[in-house]
C-alpha cells in the first residue's frame, strides 16, 4: 500500500526476527482497515537493544512489539514499566507516549486468556489448572490464570528449581501455585479443569510431550501454546478422548490486539480470515 508522509509506524524488535509472523498479522489488519500505517520487522542485536529502544521515539514510531531474546532485557530499558509486565518479568509491547516516554507492557497473559475463552467458551476456571513448563511463556500463562481466579495452578517442569523459583516469585493473594515433580505430571491431572503445555515439546522437530491423559476429567480443556504444528500430539490425544482442545495460534493473534489498538487507534478483530492469512506463510 502507499503511505503518506504522516503514516503511523510500528514494528517488531527481535534477533533474529525473520521468522516472526507479526508483520503479516498487523499488515492484515492495516490493510483491512485501510490505514495509513506500517508495521515492519526490526532486526536488533542484543548489544543494540538500548539504542534501538531510545531511537523508537526519536524516529516517530508509535511503538513496537518485543520478541525473543529481548523481552526480559526490555524491562530495564523502558521509562515506565506496567505492573503486569513487572510481575511477568517481560515486556512484549512498547508504546511511545505523546510526551515521548516509552512504556513497556505485557499482553501475553491477555492473549493466552482471550484465546482460551474464545476456543473453550464453557471453561469456567473453577478447577485446578495444570501448567507444564516454567519458561518465559509459562509466567504469562500462570499470571493470566491466577488473575482469572483459578483456585490452584499445578506447575510442573523438567528442571524443578525453575518451577519453584517461579512459584515463589508469583505467589500472592490470588490462587495457589503447587509445584509437582515432573516425573509425577500425570498425577497432577486428577481433578483438573485445564491442561496447558508451555514447553517446546510437540513443536515440529521436537519430541512429543509424554503425558497420559487418562486421569484427566473429560470436561477438562486441553491447550498448547505451540502452534507449529497447529495440532500437536497433545491436542490430537485430547481431541481423541473428547476434550475441548485449543491450539496456540490464537494466543499470538490475541496478544497483538492491545498493541494495534494503542498504535493505530482501532480495536482489531481476531477471526478466521486472520487465522488463515497468518497460517498461509509464503
Which residues of the shown chain bind ligand ATR in the complex (CB under 6 A)? 133-138, 157-159, 162, 198-201
Cβ 161 vs Cβ 167: under 8 Å: no
What phi, psi does 187 have (nearest 5°)?
-65, -30
Shortest distance, position 281 Cβ to ligand ATR, whole Å: 20
Judged by CB, which is closer to ligand ATR: 138, or 270? 138
Judged by CB, which is closer to ligand ATR: 58, or 68? 68
Alpha helices in the chain, H assignment, sequence order:
22-32, 49-58, 83-88, 108-119, 136-147, 160-170, 233-241, 249-255, 257-264, 272-279
Shortest distance, position 83 Cβ to ligand ATR, whole Å: 21
Q: Which residues, including other chains, have CB under 8 Å from residue 139's CB and lie 6 or more apart?
A: 88, 89, 90, 166, 170
Question: What's CA 102's distance to the chain center, in Å?
Answer: 21
Judged by CB, which is closer to ligand ATR: 65, or 199? 199
Judged by CB, which is closer to ligand ATR: 108, or 152? 108
> What is the C-alpha separation between 5 and 190, in angstroms, rounded?
59
Cβ 261 vs Cβ 250: under 8 Å: no
Judged by CB, which is closer to ligand ATR: 157, or 244? 157
Shortest distance, position 70 Cβ to ligand ATR, whole Å: 12
Cβ 187 vs Cβ 108: under 8 Å: no
> What is the C-alpha separation between 225 and 196, in angstroms, rounded?
7
**Residue showing the smallest CB distance to ligand ATR in the complex:** 135
Which SS3 state, helix, strand or coil, does residue 35 take? Answer: coil
Shortest distance, position 140 Cβ to ligand ATR, whole Å: 9
Judged by CB, which is closer to ligand ATR: 135, or 265? 135
Catalytic residues, by residue number, are 71
* Cα dihedral sign, 120-121-125-127: negative
Shortest distance, position 139 Cβ to ligand ATR, whole Å: 8
> What is the C-alpha separation between 174 and 272, in angstroms, rounded?
34
Shortest distance, position 62 Cβ to ligand ATR, whole Å: 26
What phi, psi does 267 have (nearest 5°)?
-85, 110
Amino acid at each position: 500500500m502507499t503511505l503518506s508522509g504522516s503514516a503511523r509506524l510500528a514494528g517488531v524488535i527481535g534477533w533474529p526476527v525473520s521468522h516472526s509472523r507479526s508483520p503479516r498479522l498487523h499488515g492484515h489488519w492495516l490493510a483491512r482497515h485501510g490505514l495509513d500505517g506500517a508495521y515492519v520487522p526490526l532486526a536488533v542485536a542484543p548489544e543494540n537493544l538500548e539504542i534501538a529502544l531510545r531511537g523508537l521515539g526519536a524516529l516517530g514510531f508509535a511503538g513496537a512489539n518485543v520478541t525473543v531474546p529481548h523481552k526480559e532485557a526490555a524491562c530495564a530499558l523502558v521509562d515506565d514499566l506496567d505492573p503486569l509486565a513487572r510481575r511477568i518479568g517481560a515486556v512484549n509491547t512498547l508504546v511511545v507516549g505523546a510526551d515521548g516516554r516509552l512504556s513497556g507492557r505485557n499482553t501475553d497473559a491477555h492473549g493466552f486468556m482471550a484465546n482460551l475463552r474464545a476456543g473453550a467458551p464453557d471453561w469456567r476456571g473453577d478447577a485446578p489448572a495444570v501448567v507444564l513448563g516454567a519458561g518465559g511463556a509459562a509466567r504469562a500463562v500462570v499470571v493470566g490464570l491466577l488473575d482469572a481466579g483459578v483456585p490452584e495452578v499445578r506447575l510442573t517442569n523438567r528442571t524443578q528449581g525453575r518451577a519453584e523459583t517461579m512459584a515463589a516469585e508469583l505467589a500472592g493473594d490470588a490462587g495457589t501455585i503447587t509445584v509437582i515433580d515432573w516425573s509425577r505430571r500425570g498425577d497432577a491431572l486428577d481433578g483438573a479443569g485445564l491442561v496447558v503445555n508451555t514447553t517446546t515439546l510437540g513443536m515440529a522437530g521436537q519430541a512429543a510431550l509424554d503425558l497420559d491423559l487418562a486421569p484427566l476429567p473429560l470436561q477438562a480443556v486441553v491447550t498448547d501454546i505451540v502452534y507449529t504444528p497447529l495440532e500437536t500430539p497433545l491436542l490430537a490425544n485430547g481431541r481423541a478422548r473428547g476434550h475441548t482442545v485449543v491450539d496456540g495460534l490464537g494466543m499470538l493473534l490475541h496478544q497483538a490486539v492491545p498493541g494495534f489498538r494503542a498504535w493505530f487507534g482501532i480495536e482489531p478483530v481476531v477471526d478466521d480470515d486472520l487465522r488463515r492469512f497468518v497460517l498461509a506463510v509464503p
